[in-house]
């Protein structure tokens, strides 16, 4: 089964930095047999799409509007992302905390992504958030990924304990065995295998994706386990 490695640069790179990063990392990332997804900000997104054209790497957006086309100043709609992004992070902890996103907003964003055939990466901080309707609704008929990202682990250098990560994965699998769960929160080249060996299908990487070399190490590491 293909693993999934997602780089989430957040609001941290200029177009120039993005271009340098890709030049450095792309050849090694392309060797991966797994799914590698780069999530730039909206300013860099089309540049990244251009640079990754004809490569095996995929592009994801970091967010998506809850609205369809219309008078929504500043918004980026799912329709605008059609043909550009294959994935979209939705409901990231930072969106909840700094932008007040609720489960209702997140559920609407998921619907928008599906309407545009974009695979949502539905982030949650605890299972309660996920189970609480209307995020969950029923088993998705369309493609979806989920990402467990405990706030205490995001950007702190303190990943979730193995015991807790195992427990959350088991409870998640009780909801549906078919759903695919990623782990995110202080993932680095040293600890990535802990989460993959537990059975997480992939990782969502923030800080350690900023340096091309670090992210390449994370993506390359699991090969030793095969
Ligand atoms: P981090 O961020 O790797 O810096 O903890 C992960 C995320 O927020 O997606």
Gap from CA of 183 to ligand 1 centroid (Å)? 10
For ligand 1, say whether the CB of 184 is within 6 Å of any of its atoms. Answer: yes
Q: Is the CB of 91 under 6 A from ligand 1?
A: no
What local confidence, expressed as pLDDT, does residue 131 receive?
Answer: 81
Question: Which tokens in the block code for residue 63?
Answer: 């967010």
**Can you tell me the mean pLDDT for 16-24?**
98
Top pLDDT among 130 and 42 is at: 42
The reported pLDDT for the residue numbered 125 is: 96
- Identify the pLDDT of residue 222: 58
Mean predicted confidence (pLDDT) in 164-180: 91
The token pair that represents 13 in the structure block: 């790179």
The pLDDT value given to residue 20: 98
pLDDT at 225 over 70: no
Alpha-carbon span 149 to 8, nearest angstrom: 13
Q: Which residues lie below 8 Å from residue 198, measured CB to CB, with a gap of 6+? A: 162, 165, 166, 169, 183
Q: Is 175 exposed, middle or buried (0-12, 13-18, 19+ CB in 10 A)?
A: middle
DSSP-assigned letter for residue 199: T
Q: What does the pLDDT read at residue 178?
A: 82
Residues labelled catalytic: 92, 149
Determine the average pLDDT of the residues in 117-146.
81
Hey, which of 89, 150, 154, 210 would you mutate to test ligand 1's pocket, going by the most ligand atoms within 8 Å of its Cβ? 154
Higher-pLDDT residue of 130, 184? 184
| 186 touches ligand 1 (CB under 6 Å) | yes
The whole-number pLDDT of residue 221 equals: 80
Question: Ligand 1 atom closest to Cα of 153?
Answer: 5
Q: How confident is the model at residue 217 (pLDDT cuts 50, 70, 90)?
A: very high
Q: What is the distance between the alpha carbons of residues 126 and 134, in angstroms, rounded to a whole number?
A: 15
pLDDT(220) > 80: yes
Rounded to two decimals, the pTM is 0.95
| CA 190 to centroid of ligand 1, rounded, Å | 15
Using the atom order of ligand 1, give the atom closest to the CA of residue 205: 3
């Amino acid at each position: 089964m293909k693993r999934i490695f997602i780089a989430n640069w957040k609001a941290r790179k200029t177009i120039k930095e993005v271009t340098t990063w890709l030049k450095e990392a792309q050849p090694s990332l392309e060797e991966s047999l797994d799914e590698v997804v780069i999530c730039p900000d909206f300013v860099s997104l089309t540049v990244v799409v251009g640079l990754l054209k004809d490569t095996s790497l995929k592009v994801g957006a970091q967010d998506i509007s809850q609205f369809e086309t219309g008078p929504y100043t500043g918004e980026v709609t799912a329709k605008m992302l059609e043909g550009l992004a294959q994935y979209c992070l939705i409901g990231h902890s930072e969106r909840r905390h700094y932008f007040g996103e609720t489960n209702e907003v997140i559920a609407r964003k998921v619907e928008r992504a599906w309407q545009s055939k974009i695979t949502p990466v539905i982030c949650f901080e605890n299972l309660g958030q996920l189970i609480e309707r209307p995020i969950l609704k029923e088993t998705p008929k369309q493609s979806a990924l989920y990402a467990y990202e405990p706030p205490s682990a995001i950007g702190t250098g303190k990943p979730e304990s193995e015991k807790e990560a195992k427990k959350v994965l088991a409870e998640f699998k009780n909801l549906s065995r078919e759903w695919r769960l990623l782990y995110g929160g202080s993932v680095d080249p040293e600890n990535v295998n802990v989460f993959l060996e537990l059975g997480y299908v992939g990782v969502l990487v923030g800080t350690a994706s900023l340096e091309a070399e670090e992210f390449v190490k994370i993506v390359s590491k699991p090969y030793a386990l095969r």
